[in-house]
Amino acid sequence: MDARKLVVYDDECRLCSGLLNYVKKQDTKQLFTYMGRADFATNTETDKLPNTLIYISKQKVYTKSTAVLLICRDLSFPYRLLYVFSIVPKALRDWVYDWVARNRKLFNRTDNCQLKR
């Protein structure tokens, strides 16, 4: 894999796909490689795969709110300003992340990936 950072997302979730479409538009330096969870799972032991957003950078794996904040940090201004929320305790950030994840069906679930190639 090249030096780009890997973002693994739920490719069946319209919310995830929609947000990643937005990130992809902002990723003008092409820092990220995007992979759906299903594709990533074929290359990984699925029993060890967390059911969350995964961000891999410099061989370190980040999940949930930390993954979101690191993606924001790597984007250009003004998105990198969102990294200031990393001062919020991880337990609280992840609680919010988990709440959104549990309720994402409110944002319409779809059977196909909406991420534009």
112 within a domain of the structure (yes/no): no
116 within a domain of the structure (yes/no): no
pTM of the model as a whole: 0.77
71 within a domain of the structure (yes/no): yes
Domain count, the chain: 1
Which residues, including other chains, have CB under 8 Å from residue 41's CB and lie 6 or more apart? 49
| pLDDT of 18 above 50 | yes
Domain extent, residue 42, equals 5-107
pLDDT value at residue 107: 61
| pLDDT of 1 above 50 | no
Residue with more model confidence, 4 or 72: 72
| Span 74-116, pLDDT tens digits | 888 898 899 999 999 999 999 998 888 888 777 655 544 444 4
